[in-house]
Amino acid sequence: MANTSLNLSALNDEEFEDLIDAIFRARMLRQELEQPVSVESFQLSVVSVSRSGRGTDEGLDLLVTTLVRDCIAPREIRWLIQCKHKAVSGRAVSPSDFANDFSFIEIVKHHDANSYLLACSTRPSTKLQSRLDKLTKDNQDRQFIIWDAARVCEEVLRHEELVKRFFPREYQRQRDVVDGGRVRDWMLQYKEAISPDACDALSQIIAIDKADTAEMGGQK
């Protein structure tokens, strides 16, 4: 499993699904249609998120609709999303983790989706990755994508509210790290290397007591 600061193994299956659901809800499109195309507007391209009920999910955990635009027309993509949570065992997700008769293309068609995303809390096996890569290559109008644990964690870390909700200890750790006092102590540790101008610069983005920066300034 990816060695990130987020401990996915602390989540149960339902919480992991909640987490994936929350990642997309955090990217719900708001007023971006009126805004120029930017990286930020692509980050917020989710139009809707719906969740399958409990019980047999027929290969579906979430259905997420995103909006893609080019200079000709906007169009929607309906992503069928399936979650596989193996973080506790640390085992890779392999084809055997799906029902014997599981066909990725059929399940996408069955749910009237355009593309498929597997979100897993570990990593895919080489065989599964190859299979989905081949499906993407062979189906020009559909994509079959895998998010591994590293990608899931990267998505979570983009949204402070998700870190706070699902990983409260990590949230507190991050809060402590950016505490002005800790940054000041670190600056003091390196006062021989950091010039007065650099101290002043850093104090513009971190709340450090002016007296502290004055103490450090002029050390170089």
Contacting residues toward other proteins, per CB under 8 A: 2-5, 36-40, 42-43, 68-70, 77, 115, 143, 150, 153-154, 157-158, 160, 170, 173-174, 177-178, 182-183, 186, 190, 192-195, 197-198, 200-202, 204-206, 220
Minimum Å gap between C-beta 84 and other proteins is: 19
Q: Which of 47/202 has CB closer to other proteins?
A: 202
**∠153-158-162 over CA atoms, to 5°?**
75
Q: Which of 36/55 has CB closer to other proteins?
A: 36
Minimum Å gap between C-beta 99 and other proteins is: 27
Minimum Å gap between C-beta 63 and other proteins is: 17
The strand pair at 62-69 and 74-84 is best described as antiparallel
Minimum Å gap between C-beta 43 and other proteins is: 7
Q: Which of 102/190 has CB closer to other proteins?
A: 190
Q: Which of 41/52 has CB closer to other proteins?
A: 41
Tokens of 11: 């989540």
Minimum Å gap between C-beta 169 and other proteins is: 10
Q: Which of 206, 200, 60 is CA-nearest to residue 215?
A: 200
Which strand (E) or helix (H) includes residue 68? Answer: strand 62-69
**How far, CA to CA in Å, does 215 sit from each of 138, 179, 180, 210, 212?**
64, 19, 15, 9, 5
What distance in Å separates the CA atoms of residue 158 and residue 174, rounded to the nearest whole number?
A: 13
Neighbouring residues of 116: CB distance < 8 A, sequence distance ≥ 6: 79, 80, 81, 82, 104, 107, 108, 132, 135, 142, 143, 144, 145
Q: Are 2 and 150 in contact (CB under 8 A)?
A: yes
Q: Which of 52/63 has CB closer to other proteins?
A: 63
Q: Are 104 and 115 in contact (CB under 8 A)?
A: no
Minimum Å gap between C-beta 176 and other proteins is: 9
Q: Which of 47/57 has CB closer to other proteins?
A: 47
